[in-house]
Amino acid sequence: MSILRFMTAGESHGPCLTAILEGLPAGLELDMEAINRDLARRQQGYGRGGRMKIERDQVEIVSGVRFGQTLGGPVTLRVVNKDFANWTDRMAVFGEPAGPKVTAARPGHADLTGVKKYDRQDVRDILERSSARETTMRVAVGAVCKAFLRALGVEVVSQVLNIGGVAVNPAKVDRTRIGQETDSELNCYDPTAEAAMKIRIDEAKQAGDTLGGIFEVIVRGLPAGLGSHIQWDRRLDAKLAGAMMSIQAIKGVEIGAGFQCAQLPGSQIHDEMFFDEQGEVYRRTNRAGGLEGGMTNGEEVVVKAAMKPIPTLMTPLHSVDIASHEAVLACKERSDTCAVSAASVVGEAMTAFVMAEAVCDKFGSDAMVDVQSALKNYKDRIRKDW
């Protein structure tokens, strides 16, 4: 069992969403404003829907923290759903069922398979939990993990690379600026591409359609040697890919050069190593994405994820009715036209958790002072060895 773990609970229109994060060391300073900033970033973005105008997510910490510092026990985080006030009858824990049943399943969603697997007669019993609203708590957990990593000199940032086929020009993106404050509505660092993305989103919205895209998460400041080549389930790239694929609507993950590795010869893929003037090893390229043999190699970790278009369309697709067994058009839940920028924040959160887990696995997780000391000693040793 991993030292660090978390679980989330709650429904999209239920009273609240909750997460329990266990395994953080004691003595970590937390900042509520920093957590809420990430929650706000998840809600923002060009192409978001009406739900984001209702909710103003603010976290409550109800256990594991005293006077701003973690105590070493489970940290419980909660976000209240303001929209529950409009759903108290339909989402009541007890009492007689209220409100119309949802019986028209949506293609591309958990709806149909979920009602079959769990023997439900109302698609709402599935869609409430499978909704991406659940990622609210992943972002809250990720923000806490970011605070842990930041205290160790590690930074997790992201950018949107592509929406609906409109891609950024890498030559126009200053990678050192990624993660800095920006007025971008899409977490995009190429203003020309962002303008074209917005036009594509407007066109999709007018057509009652939705768009997906690609985002990239970057981790800076990690030491070499997190993860392991020893067993399949200790390989950090495997854990990272699994965490990214666990995000709703993610259908593909690349680490570093990713699928390009299948197209180019080894001479154009592998990152050559050199000694600098101080005798330190460095690489002029990072096509491995900071991971070799299942371990961090000291370079930036770079992971990309592809998000499919949201399956709730205002011009619904053909589907089936689970009650009448007739052909129908899929149901319409309030939704977004495009949520790739929001997904990039969730991607940061899941990446931060995986990296925090790897740090705890290697350096322990009882007290921050011990983790910091162990990390320093390790860095000194591997530097001295070379």
Q: How confident is the model at residue 331 (pLDDT cuts 50, 70, 90)?
A: confident
Does residue 296 register a pLDDT over 70? yes
Q: Is 326 helix (H, G, I), strand (E, B) or coil?
A: coil
pLDDT in tens, 99-142: 999 999 999 999 999 999 999 999 999 999 999 999 999 999 99
Lowest mean pLDDT: which of 14-18, 38-42, 74-78, 308-312?
Answer: 308-312
Q: What is the pLDDT of residue 52?
A: 60
pLDDT in tens, 246-293: 999 999 999 999 999 999 999 999 999 999 998 889 999 999 999 999
Domain at 5-385: CATH architecture: 4-Layer Sandwich (3.60)
DSSP 186: S
Domain boundaries of the chain, sorted by first residue = 5-385
- Which residues, listed in sequence order, are joined to residue 321 by a DSSP beta bridge? 104
Burial class (CB in 10 A: 0-12, 13-18, 19+), 135: buried
Residue 21 CB neighbours (<10 A): 25
Sequence-separated (6 or more) residues with CB below 8 Å from residue 226: 236, 295, 296, 355, 358, 359, 361, 362
Residue range 53-73: mean pLDDT, rounded: 93
DSSP 23: -
Q: What is the pLDDT of residue 178?
A: 95
Confirm if 193 and 168 have CB atoms less than 8 A apart. Answer: yes
Mark out the alpha helices in the chain (DSSP H runs): 32-43, 51-54, 111-118, 124-130, 135-150, 191-206, 236-245, 340-363, 368-385
Does residue 53 register a pLDDT over 70? no
Q: Is 88 helix (H, G, I), strand (E, B) or coil?
A: coil
